[in-house]
Chains A and B, each alone.
Chain A
Amino acid sequence: MLIAALFAGIGASAAWGNPKGQWTPKLGLDLEGGRQVILQPELGKGQTVNAGQLNQAVNIIRNRVDGSGVAEAEVTTLGSENIVVSIPGNPSKQILDSLAQSSQLLFRAVIATGQPQADQTPAPTLPGATPSAPATSAPTGTGTAKPSGSASAKPSSSVKAPSSSAKAAPSSTGKNDAFPAAFAAATGTPTGSGSGSAAPAASSTPAPTSAAPSGPPTLPGATGSASPSTTPGKPANASDQAWANQLVSRIWIDAGLAQTGETYQQLLQTVSCSNTNPKLGPLASTWQEVAARAPANEPSVGCSKDKSATFLMGPSEVSGDTITDATWGQTTNSAGIQTGEIAVNLTFNDKGKTQFANVTRRLVGLQGDQNRFAIIVDGQIISAPGTNDPITDGRAQITGGFTEAEAKILADQLKFGALPFSFKELSSDQISPQLGIDQLQKGIIAGLIGLLLVVFYSLLQYRALGLVTVASLLVAGVMSYGLVTFLGFANNFRLTMAGVTGLIVAIGITADSFIVYFERVRDEVRSGRPLRAAVETGWSRARRTIIISDAVNFLAAAVLYVLSESTVKAFAFTLGLTTLVDLVVVMLFTHPVLTMLARTKFFGGGHKWSGLDPERLGARGTTYAGRGRVTIADRKQAAAQGGTV
């Protein structure tokens, strides 16, 4: 029954599975080959990699690979700064990409939002000149009114006030009302709905002449039109609009994205979210990459995931290293019904919890964009939900139009921590198996010969009873094969050479359960019990032994699986699997079969070739049928009578 179900499962997976299941087990790197990717760290100017960081990166990448199942992947360093990842089979591009991403998670308070540089616009360029105000293009409809306090006759600034901060307030809060205290929020399109009008502010401003790199950006109050604090100088907290007037960090200048002396406010206006043409100015990918490396204690700019909005955000206040766990699943509404929206759920440690509570407490009191808290992964703003209530339980939920696969990958990445830097693929090649198929074939043939010998030996030892052993072993073998195949589909479980050998040995250990059982039954027969009773008493005694010894093996498997990684984890998996198969086969196959056979004349009558012939076992047909539990005295007595042959 079980087997039928198992194979039905495999059949189903082969027929309808996606990716297609198969009828043979998936093989590991050493037997099947796979894909090898060489990753090179993406470093900024002057950044170097040290051995410690590289090892840390190797460990994190290994965790990520293992996170996607028992993959039997290999992760090593190559040279002084590269990392080689070898994954068996043909992993999807998505998986490969996810390994290389730094996955640095940061939470930053939003200070202002803007409209991204439109694609086709000629670049603001002209080196030397400050980036002119974005040349319009499509400001989501509604040229609309100038944002309130914006224009602000700042001398130097060609840039317009962060209009949206001022006016989006009512609309965006209104939008977020619907969400419960949690952090779920619709962000992808933050400027959606009513707030759209605010965004285009910049485009409608008079053309800049500016070109005043000298403009003392430290001027207080400057653009922070709606800013509550007009205090000059140091920003009071991470949400302070005064950040907008701070000089940009060197990293932006080094990357050619900003001029010396530029402020963050100006930087916000030049961010490109989708430029792929180098002639038009810095690429969107460059923006994101630099944003990913921007110092955490400085403001940063970035694009939303759907590229529809740009953000200026304060220094990071909570970072990914305070995450203790990340899972993914559907969000539920207040009634507990799944909404179908996929979210990544985060749990923070105490430090993160306190930080999170502090920030959200502050944000609740702010209006408009400043009420929002941006979640940034590798420089990209995954979402920037509004804050309705302080979050004090150290749990947060990120939504952002994820697919299930994306959410799983992100959760895995966050759980295992951020790489010290991002990597790019230097090369990606198909690699051949290390062991020829020759080894596998010969190994399997050897194993089969060995098993044949086992069959021969057990027939010799147990006569017809040996056939029960053989049948049980067959069942165990078929079940193991089926499970390994099925798990290859379901869990990406792969067999390496070590795994194959382990399975062969495991079958030997499975055989031990039968031997323990049969020996016990024989003992009972020796004591003079009739076979049917002997099977029952023998079983009740053998069962204890079988269960405790399997429990020990299972414990080994469980502990090793949970606590170790890489190959050892895969081994633990195999061990656990075969132990379970052993238990199932003995309980649900061997014992019932033997009970049934004991009723037949051949076995029950103790035929010479049945392996249970009382005479051969030293007992004479004395029967003590109907007797309950046997004490040692009973058995002695029985032995005494039987032993006088």
Chain B
Amino acid sequence: MASFAQFGNDLYSGRRQIDFIGKRRRWYTLTAVLLVIAAIGLFGRGLNFSLEFTGGSEFRVPGVSNMADYDTRAKTATQTALKSSENVIVTKIGSNTVRVQVEKPKSGSADATDQVSTALAKEFKVSPTTVTSSYIGPSWGEQVRQKAIVALLVFLALLSVLLAVYFRTWKMALAALIALVHDLFFTVGVYALTGIEVSPATVIGFLTILGYSIYDTVVVFDKVRENTDEAMASGRRSYAQAANYAVNQTLVRSINTSVVALLPITAILLVGIFLLGPGTLLDLALALFVGIAVGTYSSIFIATPILVSLRSREPAMKDLERKATAYQRKQASALDEEEHTPGESASGVMEPAREKAAAQARTDRPRTRQIHPLAKRDED
């Protein structure tokens, strides 16, 4: 663990820096590939919506005398009759009626409906004529969906305003939104690819991700903002470097946070896979696991690089970059080195020892120092 603490220290002090921003084309490519895969899943396979969205068939088996273990029995009977392993919702109504809801046999396919009725009647030892079947509509109908989407759009609009006001630049809001859309798109894509059913519980999972993703991005951006202010004041590092430094400084936090958030979810996921089988719990845990992992990834590898791409074209930032380059060159030349350490080139942070040395070198140097290539020669 000491090494992890050391790692944190080094990231903070700048002794060690990971170049997130400089290699942003690499992350963009990686992200693009991931998104293409998600899109293939989404538009190719499509999402597998659950009963609550599509409606389906409902069977009622009244007058059952032996209710022991009714849920597994009904489930098995239905799945066997349908020859598919789709999700079956079994509920007990009153004291002796079993209700089975499945998505597949829509009102149209009389055959399948009959098969299920017969299978259920046989399993529960009642007359097939008493088993009723009817079509049930979606409980997550058009209106619920529409309202949720409208609410989401309104939220995103308000969020953009809030972030733009807080960070005083709409570009941060835009970058955060892009990261957010990326997270949701990717997670939903995973669902499409794996064919796991999307139930209302899953949607709640998606919404939780939405909250987490923005939260995570905002935490990183807040540090970027702080570093930018410092950089603007000192002129010692460019915007890209300040942003990279911020990502490095918050990296330990990002790792810790995602580990802390992922630990309980992993536990639930494992229990879901090995003990419970498919169901609400697994649906949710998977959505959350993927979403939180991607959310952390996007804050670091997408949101911040995009922000830098957007902002480094601003005149003020270009100006800052010139100043920073000049300063850093001066430091390097003081040390009589042309090469920068990784930390210096990526984040504009000089290792304390080198900085000290540079300062020392400058004071030791005779007053008539070499003229810097960029400096104007004023005695001419």
Q: What does the 1/0 interface line of B263-296 toward A look like (CB < 8 Å)?
A: 1111110111001100111001100100010000
Asked whether A566 is an interface residue with its Cβ less than 8 Å from the other chain, the reply is: yes
Asked whether A364 is an interface residue with its Cβ less than 8 Å from the other chain, the reply is: no
Asked whether A55 is an interface residue with its Cβ less than 8 Å from the other chain, the reply is: yes
Which residues does chain B contribute within 8 Å of A55, judged by CB atoms? Answer: 137, 141-143
Contact status of A571 and B288, CB under 8 A, knowing A504-B264, A565-B144: no
Which residues does chain B contribute within 8 Å of A548, judged by CB atoms? Answer: 166, 218, 222
Q: How far is the CA of A439 from the CA of B271 in the complex (A)?
A: 10
Q: What does the 1/0 interface line of B255-267 toward A look like (CB < 8 Å)?
A: 0110111111111
**8 Å CB contact of B91 from A432, A449, A523, A545:** A432
Interface contact B264-A507, CB-CB below 8 Å? yes
**8 Å CB contact of B264 from A508, A555, A571, A617:** A508
Closest CB-CB distance, B4 to chain A, in whole Å?
7
**8 Å CB contact of A77 from B91, B137, B275, B281:** B137
Interface contact B151-A435, CB-CB below 8 Å? no
Closest CB-CB distance, A18 to chain B, in whole Å?
28
Which residues does chain A contribute within 8 Å of B263, judged by CB atoms? Answer: 450-451, 453-454, 457, 508
Which residues does chain B contribute within 8 Å of A496, judged by CB atoms? Answer: 201
Q: How far is the CA of A63 from the CA of B352 in the complex (A)?
A: 64
Q: How far is the CA of A642 from the CA of B226 in the complex (A)?
A: 23
Question: Chain B: which residue is nearest A433 at the CB level?
Answer: B91
Interface contact B268-A545, CB-CB below 8 Å? no
Closest CB-CB distance, B210 to chain A, in whole Å?
7
Which residues does chain A contribute within 8 Å of B141, judged by CB atoms? Answer: 55, 58-59, 76
Q: Which of B155-203 contact A (CB under 8 A)?
A: 155, 158-159, 162-163, 166, 200-201, 203
**8 Å CB contact of A549 from B15, B200, B215, B226:** B215
Q: How far is the CA of A571 from the CA of B201 in the complex (A)?
A: 10
Asked whether A422 is an interface residue with its Cβ less than 8 Å from the other chain, the reply is: no
Asked whether A229 is an interface residue with its Cβ less than 8 Å from the other chain, the reply is: no
Asked whether B204 is an interface residue with its Cβ less than 8 Å from the other chain, the reply is: yes
Closest CB-CB distance, B163 to chain A, in whole Å?
8
Interface contact A498-B201, CB-CB below 8 Å? yes
Tell which of A171-179, A440-448, A595-603 binds the partner: A440-448
Contact status of A644 and B144, CB under 8 A, knowing A76-B137, A617-B5: no
**8 Å CB contact of B265 from A74, A438, A505, A632:** A505
Asked whether B355 is an interface residue with its Cβ less than 8 Å from the other chain, the reply is: yes
Contact status of A526 and B12, CB under 8 A, knowing A58-B137, A78-B58, A446-B270: yes
Asked whether A633 is an interface residue with its Cβ less than 8 Å from the other chain, the reply is: yes
Inter-chain contact total with CB atoms closer than 8 Å: 286
Closest CB-CB distance, B263 to chain A, in whole Å?
4
**8 Å CB contact of B139 from A76, A445, A449, A507:** A76
Q: Size range of the interface on A?
A: 35 or more
What is B's interface to A at a CB cutoff of 8 Å?
A: 1-2, 4-6, 8-10, 12-15, 55, 58, 71, 89-94, 97, 99, 134-144, 147-148, 150-152, 154-155, 158-159, 162-163, 166, 200-201, 203-205, 207-208, 210-212, 214-215, 218-219, 222-223, 226, 230, 233-234, 236, 249-250, 252-253, 256-257, 259-268, 270-272, 275-276, 279-281, 284-285, 288, 292, 351-353, 355-356
Interface contact A511-B155, CB-CB below 8 Å? no
Closest CB-CB distance, A124 to chain B, in whole Å?
43
Closest CB-CB distance, B81 to chain A, in whole Å?
20
Q: How far is the CA of A516 from the CA of B221 in the complex (A)?
A: 13
Interface contact A512-B204, CB-CB below 8 Å? no
Which residues does chain A contribute within 8 Å of B14, judged by CB atoms? Answer: 639
| Residue among A453, A631, A641 with max Cβ neighbours from chain B (10 Å) | A453
Tell which of A181-189, A327-335, A336-344, A556-564 binds the partner: A556-564
Asked whether A605 is an interface residue with its Cβ less than 8 Å from the other chain, the reply is: no
Q: How far is the CA of A33 from the CA of B91 in the complex (A)?
A: 9
**8 Å CB contact of B252 from A519, A556, A618:** A519
Interface contact A446-B268, CB-CB below 8 Å? yes
Asked whether A79 is an interface residue with its Cβ less than 8 Å from the other chain, the reply is: yes
Contact status of A643 and B353, CB under 8 A, knowing A442-B275, A616-B5: yes
Which residues does chain B contribute within 8 Å of A616, judged by CB atoms? Answer: 2, 5
| Residue among B1, B139, B159, B288 with max Cβ neighbours from chain A (10 Å) | B139
Contact status of A526 and B261, CB under 8 A, knowing A556-B159, A566-B140: no
Secondary structure class of chain A's binding surface, majority of residues: helix
**8 Å CB contact of A446 from B134, B163, B218, B271:** B271
Which residues does chain A contribute within 8 Å of B200, judged by CB atoms? Answer: 498, 566-567
What is A's interface to B at a CB cutoff of 8 Å?
A: 30, 33, 36, 54-55, 58-59, 62, 74-80, 84, 429-436, 438-439, 442-443, 445-447, 449-451, 453-454, 457-458, 460-461, 496-498, 501-502, 504-505, 507-509, 511-512, 515-516, 519, 522-523, 526, 541, 544-545, 548-549, 551-553, 555-556, 559-560, 562-568, 571, 575, 616-618, 631-633, 636, 639-644
Interface contact A523-B249, CB-CB below 8 Å? yes
**8 Å CB contact of A78 from B137, B140, B249, B281:** B137
Contact status of A541 and B226, CB under 8 A, knowing A442-B271, A461-B4, A497-B284: yes
Interface contact A571-B204, CB-CB below 8 Å? yes
Closest CB-CB distance, A407 to chain B, in whole Å?
27
Interface contact B158-A559, CB-CB below 8 Å? yes
**8 Å CB contact of A553 from B93, B205, B211:** B211
With A445-B271, A564-B148 given, name 17 new contacts (CB 8 A): A77-B55, A436-B71, A460-B1, A498-B200, A501-B201, A501-B281, A505-B212, A508-B260, A516-B219, A523-B249, A549-B222, A559-B154, A559-B155, A560-B151, A567-B200, A568-B207, A618-B10
Which residues does chain A contribute within 8 Å of B159, judged by CB atoms? Answer: 552, 555-556
Which residues does chain B contribute within 8 Å of A643, judged by CB atoms? Answer: 13, 15, 351-353
**8 Å CB contact of A556 from B4, B211, B226, B352:** B211
| Residue among A76, A505, A631 with max Cβ neighbours from chain B (10 Å) | A505
Interface contact B218-A567, CB-CB below 8 Å? no
Interface contact A79-B260, CB-CB below 8 Å? no
Contact status of A75 and B139, CB under 8 A, knowing A439-B280, A508-B260, A636-B355: yes
Closest CB-CB distance, B175 to chain A, in whole Å?
14
Interface contact A504-B143, CB-CB below 8 Å? no
**8 Å CB contact of A632 from B143, B152, B223, B234:** B234
